[in-house]
Amino acid sequence: MAVATIETQETPIFNPEQFDTDFEAFTKTIPSIVAVTAPDRSDKTTQLGAFLNDEIENLDLTYPKLDAITPEQIESIRAEAHRLMDQITLLDEPRRGVYEAFVAQNVLQAELAIAMKAYKIAETDEEKSIAREQFMRRNIELYGEPDKQTYLSLLGEKITNVSQKDRSPEAEVIFAELQSLVPAEVLDPEIAGERFKPSAETVAWMHTVIESLHGDLLRHVPETDEPISSVELRDIFETIIREEFGEAAEGWEVVLKDAKAISVGAKSKRVIIPINRPDMSVAEVRRLVVHELGIHMLTAITGESTDIIPLNFGLSGYGDTQEGLGKVAEQALEGTFKEAGVDHYITAGLAYFDGKSFRDAFEVKWRMKLLEDLESGQVPTEEQITKARKIAADGPLLATTRIFRGTDELPLFKDLSYYNGSVKVWEYLEQIRGDDLQLSLLLAGKISTSKDHQRVVLESRTA
């Protein structure tokens, strides 16, 4: 007589050390949105020159790291994410939720990158439409979307400010052109309305906190009236890392590179400084120290010291708070609140709500920049117009390219974090003013201001 056999399902074996190794390896396979949206510099210089000379209508840049991404690479990332998710189900809370959200966010980031590439190489209207939908869906899931009232308020305030200046006849022509290019509702002075601003008491408290928290870092910035070069900035950063972070910063390095902006990479453990960055004042260097090292690097190192790996790289949804903290640290150092990322927010709004192309948004922004810079009654010179156009296209803080990077046609919302994050963090600090414990939790890893993220920090252990 045959004996029936009962199949038993084996319980998966969880190996913590192997999981940590596999998880860290997975994070390094994810395309960095900053990296894949960095265009070929020579190509960009050539095209920007042609654009500013009105020889071409819009940019169509080459993105080497975006070009290198393949569908097979994205499928491999999805497969590894699925395998890791099976292991993550064996974790206890809050670790399970943290790791699940982190993996899902990284898959979204990889899918956003491939959607960018699909849009760039699309040959038909149908292919472009599908890629556009895929891009925007993941773009909004990762970074959120602009708020229309905030956009109108920020743009309306700028329009109101320039409208109140005495203008020469030549400037009046440019102002009339600007008015014709923006939504009619922003011409109403009442549209600006009231936006959040922290109290003087909260700004003063944070000024004391930043001076106390980062005083040891700042003592390495020389007191000088001379400008500080990118090479000297590298040396300052290296000294701070060596003398102030010590063994905790093992493996970190500061690299001079052909880059657009300073960046701090938790995965690569690299601080990248643009080799051709213009010379900086002491005040600017002090701001960079507290922002890049005192926030971005310090929270990465602090998070790495725990047994929850994503606290190093960033819990899901951490981006706004992380960039916000950087901007808040700069403002607190100087004891002055200033809305951050306003021009990036306006560019995103022009594209998202008003359907403006790179060219259309640029035409608004250079006129606004010029009129902001003109003195009362001043006649704009060709030199001033040329300068305003260059800055509006690709200058610091104002660059139209920052919002359209990656596709050259669709708005990328990553840089909304400067405005959203600084406001969110200041609002949070207003609530916890004087509570050093709540503030320390916010700096204990790359997290948001949410209670869920705080719980993760509180339940983490030193690795």
What does the radius of gyration of the chain's CA atoms come to, in whole angstroms?
24
Please report the pLDDT score of residue 37 as a whole number.
Answer: 96
Record the tokens describing residue 258, joined without a space: 């052909």
- pLDDT > 70: what percent of the chain? 97
Q: Rounded to a whole number, what is the distance in angstroms from the first to the last CA of the chain?
A: 57
Residue-range domain boundaries for the chain? 16-31+69-143, 200-339+419-459
Query: Which residues contact residue 251 at a Cβ distance below 8 angstroms, ignoring those fewer than 6 apart?
Result: 269
Collapsed DSSP state (helix, strand, coil) of residue 255: strand
pLDDT bucket at 3, cuts 50 / 70 / 90:
very low
Please report the pLDDT score of residue 462 as a whole number.
Answer: 81
Query: Could you tell me where the DSSP H helices lie in 68-193?
Result: 71-88, 95-121, 125-143, 148-163, 169-181
For the stretch 259-270, pLDDT in tens is 878 999 999 999
For the stretch 15-52, pLDDT in tens is 888 999 999 999 999 999 999 999 999 999 999 999 99
Whether residue 11 has pLDDT greater than 70: no
For the stretch 71-97, pLDDT in tens is 999 999 999 999 999 999 999 888 899
Please report the pLDDT score of residue 12 as a whole number.
Answer: 59
Whether residue 398 has pLDDT greater than 90: no
Q: Rounded mean pLDDT of 192-210?
A: 93
Collapsed DSSP state (helix, strand, coil) of residue 265: strand
Weakest-pLDDT range from 74-88, 108-122, 251-265: 251-265
DSSP 379-422: PPPHHHHHHHHHHHHH-TTT-THHHHTTTSSS--GGGHHHHHHH
- Nearest CA to 405 out of 52, 66, 50 is that of 66
**What CA–CA distance (Å, rounded) separates 398 from 344?**
7
**What CA–CA distance (Å, rounded) separates 61 from 81?**
31
Record the tokens describing residue 160, joined without a space: 């109101």
**What CA–CA distance (Å, rounded) separates 370 from 389?**
8
Query: Which residues contact residue 134 at a Cβ distance below 8 angstroms, ignoring those fewer than 6 apart?
Result: 111, 115, 118
Whether residue 7 has pLDDT greater than 80: no
**What CA–CA distance (Å, rounded) separates 81 from 75?**
10
For the stretch 345-391, pLDDT in tens is 999 999 999 999 999 999 999 999 999 999 999 999 999 999 999 99
Which one has a higher pLDDT value, 4 or 179?
A: 179
**What CA–CA distance (Å, rounded) separates 96 from 131?**
32
Record the tokens describing residue 20, joined without a space: 């940590």
Contact at 8 Å (CB) between 195 and 147? no
Record the tokens describing residue 27, joined without a space: 């994070």
Partnered with residue 274 across adjacent β-strands are 257
- The CB density around residue 281, as the number of other CB atoms within 10 Å, is 13
- Give phi and psi for 257, each to the nearest 5: -150, 155
Collapsed DSSP state (helix, strand, coil) of residue 187: helix
Please report the pLDDT score of residue 8 as a whole number.
Answer: 46
**What CA–CA distance (Å, rounded) separates 128 from 118?**
8
Please report the pLDDT score of residue 5 as a whole number.
Answer: 46
For the stretch 295-329, pLDDT in tens is 999 999 999 999 999 999 999 999 999 999 999 99
Partnered with residue 306 across adjacent β-strands are 462
Question: What rounded mean pLDDT belongs to the chain?
Answer: 93
